[in-house]
């Protein structure tokens, strides 16, 4: 069989053109060689998925631009690049001509579904490429559902509160805007249309009341209202029932699991904040000028925690079955309260950071947490947690361990209190600190030594320079 026959079969749209039989028939009529065989095999594999092969059938003709097997191979590969890029560019959108399907993007490796929290747009609104249309709330973070292309939202397929999985269709976008009901721009139109329709409704009301005799069959709604998980409480005035967010449910589950798993014990101490506050006051302007970030108290406590973890490695360890895992790195989690719930982003390799690096990382993570843009990876892991309840005015508390860690440090508010210094009673800014630890792994001796190290470093930051 010659290449002319192959060309004619391509032009006729034959789907089974490149079979092994055809290749065997072609090979004897062409100069023998391994390169030609490879090129033929590539045609066999590639053209099955090539939707516009008949448009390029002239390439196979003897007088066509492809004059050698190598050029034939290169030409087909180059032709396939653009269709393959279009196919793989957006795996989570569907293009049906004028219509684009908006679907839920991949959430995370450990998350299989989420709740459609809210739509950020309305049907009839125009959206651009990658513009956020809706938000998916998962157990850990909130993820945006973005537009796969520019156009006008035709309709919503899913509803707020629905449980959705990656690939679930939530909306339809029209590229041209045809068949779209513009809800947002014509808010006044429905009102005007409703006013003339009102008298018509009054005339038809008696007609509507007559078929209502069929509606007594609808006492079936009460059974669906009953739920096994919902407590059957008598209704009361001035009460409202609001579903828990997925993040709040996740936090509740983890905190209860922590309480049921660990043998938690808390030890306390107090810290004189005079020297650390003086250090901050003396160098705050120079610090901002050089590093572009304010010098806070959290960086001092994190540096102190790093020193304490290095002195007492058992605090940085964790129980895993019948083994103890010692971590030779220090990843410190910081508890951040957001309007949607508690999140715990992680400062990686805190032992290798200076004060400026820590302050910058804290600001970045806190901003992402409050904006709801923090990722799963930024909250995963962590070997120790620092929680600062003092920003809310907490005087004393017993923090709960964040699994799979073994301890957590609680900071509290700074309050002037009378203390004895050199035999004299003076007023000093004091802070209570608390360490909750897993008593199965950590003995009281190590816990007290760790907390004492925190106290020593915070009260005299020069210890960090001298490593004493």
b/e code 9-26 from CB counts within 10 Å (16+ = b) = bbeeeeeebbeeebeeeb
Q: How confident is the model at residue 118 (pLDDT cuts 50, 70, 90)?
A: confident
Comparing 289 with 79, the larger pLDDT belongs to 289
The confidence score (pLDDT) of residue 38 equals 44
Altogether, the residues listed in the chain come to a count of 468
How does strand 142-146 pair with strand 93-96? unpaired
Q: Is the pLDDT of residue 65 over 70?
A: no
Q: Is the pLDDT of residue 376 over 90?
A: no
The confidence score (pLDDT) of residue 247 equals 79
**Residue 425, SS3 per DSSP:** strand
CA–CA separation, 412 and 398 (whole Å): 11
pTM: 0.59
Q: What is the mean pLDDT of residues 139-148?
A: 82
Residue 460 designated active-site: no
DSSP assignment string, 131-160? -EEEEEE-SS-EEEEEPSSSEEEEEESS-T
Q: Is the pLDDT of residue 224 over 80?
A: no
Comparing 232 with 277, the larger pLDDT belongs to 277
Q: What is the mean pLDDT of residues 261-271?
A: 95
Percent of the chain with pLDDT over 70: 66
Q: Is the pLDDT of residue 276 over 60?
A: yes
How high does pLDDT run on average in the chain?
A: 76
Q: How confident is the model at residue 227 (pLDDT cuts 50, 70, 90)?
A: very low
The DSSP call for residue 448 is H
414 contacts 273 by C-beta, under 8 angstroms:
yes
Of 418, 454, 18, 439, whose CA–CA distance to 263 is shortest?
A: 439
Residue pLDDT, tens place only, 13-28: 444 444 444 444 444 4
Q: What is the mean pLDDT of residues 355-372?
A: 90
Q: How confident is the model at residue 32 (pLDDT cuts 50, 70, 90)?
A: very low
**Residue 9, SS3 per DSSP:** helix
CA–CA separation, 428 and 421 (whole Å): 9
The confidence score (pLDDT) of residue 206 equals 45
Range scoring the smallest mean pLDDT among 146-160, 195-209, 291-305, 321-335: 195-209
The DSSP call for residue 177 is -
Comparing 175 with 265, the larger pLDDT belongs to 265
Cβ-based burial of 105 (10 A; exposed 0-12, middle 13-18, buried ≥19): middle
The confidence score (pLDDT) of residue 62 equals 47
Neighbours of 309 (CB within 10 A): 24
Comparing 344 with 85, the larger pLDDT belongs to 344
Percent of the chain with pLDDT over 90: 37
- Give Cβ neighbours of residue 392 (< 8 Å, ≥ 6 apart): 337
Q: Is the pLDDT of residue 188 over 70?
A: no
Tell me the range of 74-88, 114-128, 193-207 where mean pLDDT is highest.
Answer: 114-128
Q: What is the mean pLDDT of residues 417-435?
A: 95
Residue pLDDT, tens place only, 230-240: 555 666 778 88
The confidence score (pLDDT) of residue 94 equals 53
Cβ-based burial of 415 (10 A; exposed 0-12, middle 13-18, buried ≥19): middle
Range scoring the smallest mean pLDDT among 147-156, 174-183, 358-367: 174-183
Q: What is the mean pLDDT of residues 21-41?
A: 44
Residue pLDDT, tens place only, 71-111: 555 454 455 444 443 433 344 455 557 788 898 888 766 67
DSSP assignment string, 35-64? HHHHHHHHHHHHGGG-TTGGGGGGGGSTTS
25 contacts 5 by C-beta, under 8 angstroms:
no
Q: Is the pLDDT of residue 325 over 90?
A: yes
The confidence score (pLDDT) of residue 268 equals 97
Catalytic residue among 162, 285, 371, 443: 443
Q: What is the mean pLDDT of residues 40-45?
A: 43
Residue 456 designated active-site: no
| Phi, psi for 208 (deg, rounded to 5) | -75, -30
Catalytic residue among 439, 456, 460, 467: 439
Q: Is the pLDDT of residue 6 over 50?
A: no
């Amino acid at each position: 069989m010659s290449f002319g026959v192959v060309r004619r079969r391509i032009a006729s749209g034959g789907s089974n053109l490149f079979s092994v039989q055809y290749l065997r028939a072609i090979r004897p009529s062409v100069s023998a060689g391994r390169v030609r065989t490879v090129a033929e095999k590539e045609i066999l594999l590639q053209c099955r998925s090539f939707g516009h092969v008949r448009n390029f059938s002239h390439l196979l003709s003897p007088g066509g631009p492809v004059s050698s097997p190598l050029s034939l191979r290169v030409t087909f590969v180059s032709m396939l690049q653009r269709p393959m890029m279009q196919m793989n560019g957006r795996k989570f959108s569907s293009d049906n001509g004028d219509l684009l399907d908006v679907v839920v993007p991949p959430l995370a490796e450990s998350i299989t579904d989420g709740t459609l929290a809210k739509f950020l747009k309305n049907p009839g609104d125009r959206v651009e490429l990658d513009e956020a249309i809706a938000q998916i709330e998962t157990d850990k973070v909130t993820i945006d559902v973005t537009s796969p292309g520019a156009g006008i939202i035709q309709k919503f397929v899913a509803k707020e509160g629905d449980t959705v999985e990656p690939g679930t269709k939530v909306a339809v976008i029209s590229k041209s805007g045809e068949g779209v009901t513009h809800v947002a721009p014509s808010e006044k139109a429905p009102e005007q249309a409703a006013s003339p329709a009102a008298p018509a409704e009054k005339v038809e009301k008696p007609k509507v009341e007559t078929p209502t005799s069929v509606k007594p069959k609808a006492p079936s709604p009460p059974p669906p209202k009953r739920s096994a998980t919902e407590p059957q409480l008598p209704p009361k005035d001035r009460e409202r029932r609001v579903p828990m967010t997925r993040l709040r449910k996740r936090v509740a589950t983890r905190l209860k699991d922590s309480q049921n798993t660990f043998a938690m014990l808390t030890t306390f101490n107090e810290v004189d904040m005079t020297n650390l506050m003086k250090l901050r006051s003396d160098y705050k302007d120079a610090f901002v000028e050089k590093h572009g970030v304010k010098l806070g108290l959290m960086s001092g406590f994190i540096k102190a925690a790093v020193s304490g973890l290095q002195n007492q490695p058992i605090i940085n360890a964790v129980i895993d079955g019948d083994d103890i895992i010692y971590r030779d790195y220090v990843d410190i989690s910081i508890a951040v309260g957001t309007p949607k719930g508690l999140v715990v982003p992680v400062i990686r390799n805190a032992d290798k950071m200076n004060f400026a690096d820590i302050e910058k990382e804290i600001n970045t993570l806190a901003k992402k947490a409050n904006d709801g843009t923090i990722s799963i990876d930024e909250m995963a892991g962590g070997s120790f947690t620092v929680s600062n309840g003092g920003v809310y005015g907490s005087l004393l508390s017993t923090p709960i361990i964040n699994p799979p860690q073994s301890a957590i440090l609680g900071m509290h508010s700074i309050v002037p209190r009378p203390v004895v210094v050199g035999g004299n009673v003076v007023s000093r800014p004091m802070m209570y600190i608390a360490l909750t630890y897993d008593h199965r792994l950590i003995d009281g001796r190590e816990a007290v030594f760790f907390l004492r190290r925190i106290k020593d470093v915070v009260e005299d930051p020069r210890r960090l320079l001298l490593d004493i």
